[in-house]
A = this chain, B = another copy of it.
Amino acid sequence: MCDECGCQAGGASSEKKVIEINKSLLDANQRLGEKNRHHIEQMGAIAINMISSPGAGKTTLLEATAERLSRATRFGVIEGDIETQRDADRIRAKGIPAVQITTGGACHLDAALVHKGIHELEHLLGPDELDLVFIENVGNLVCPATFYLGEHKRMVMVSVPEGSDKPAKYPRAFIGSDLFIISKTDLLPYFDFSIEEACSEAKRLNPDIKILTLSATTGTGVDEWLEYLNKILLEK
């Protein structure tokens, strides 16, 4: 819950207690995340945790993926939102199984919520029916970066309208990710967005991060995204 974000207003003693308790909660989250990973692997699948600000285009990329990824790859989606079923409805409209997790105010998914989502997805499909699970996190470039959900790959997305200063301003999501997607590149002519700045800042924070640029609307760069998915599926 956002209500439970610690802050310095309560004095050193309360603050220390909160830090201690939250450390144990984070440790518990990590352990449950590892269980989730094991569970997903037992289903024969791998999972990708998608992190971005609201409206960066995560759901639109999943819609394009539903249209263009080879039918041989079976995938499902766990949608995390504070409120509404809208994103899961958009995915289901493309014929892809999706479960919606509404966090009821919380600013990120955690491993316990995703655990529930995995069971719902399994119940929907039966075992051995999945190769790939996308976990679309709550739209927030900050807090989701702290919570391991059991994913095999973590991706962070920034859309062109948000500005190329975002890696420098929100470093943690980039430090912890395997893939950085710059989305809505069809809008580059209308914005003062420097691909070079965004990439060099992301690489400075995380030299191993892979970077893709794409527009899910026009389709530019989507082939490279599908290639990336096929590659990590082959490695599993």
| A contact set with B: CB distance below 8 Å | 1-11, 14-15, 17-19, 21-26, 28-29, 32, 53-55, 81-84, 86, 105-108, 110-113, 138-143, 145-147, 158-159, 161-163, 165-166, 168-172, 184, 187, 190
Contacts and interface: CB of A to CB of B under 8 A. Distances in A.
A25 B7 contact: yes
> Chain A contact residues: over half helix, strand or loop, or mixed?
helix
29 contacts: A1-B5, A1-B19, A3-B22, A4-B5, A4-B18, A5-B108, A7-B25, A7-B108, A8-B110, A8-B113, A14-B21, A17-B21, A53-B54, A54-B141, A54-B163, A55-B159, A55-B163, A55-B166, A81-B169, A83-B169, A84-B165, A84-B168, A86-B165, A107-B107, A107-B142, A140-B142, A140-B143, A159-B161, A187-B187
A32 B9 CA distance: 7
A142 B138 contact: yes
A141 B139 contact: yes
What are the 5 tightest A-B residue pairs by CB atom distance, in nearest-first order? A55-B162, A4-B6, A161-B161, A10-B25, A107-B142
Nearest to A102: B169
Contacts of A3: 19, 22-23, 26, 146
Contacts of A166: 54-55
A161 B55 contact: yes
A186 to B, nearest CB: 8
B111 A9 contact: yes
Given A9-B29, A139-B53, A140-B142, A169 B84 contact: yes
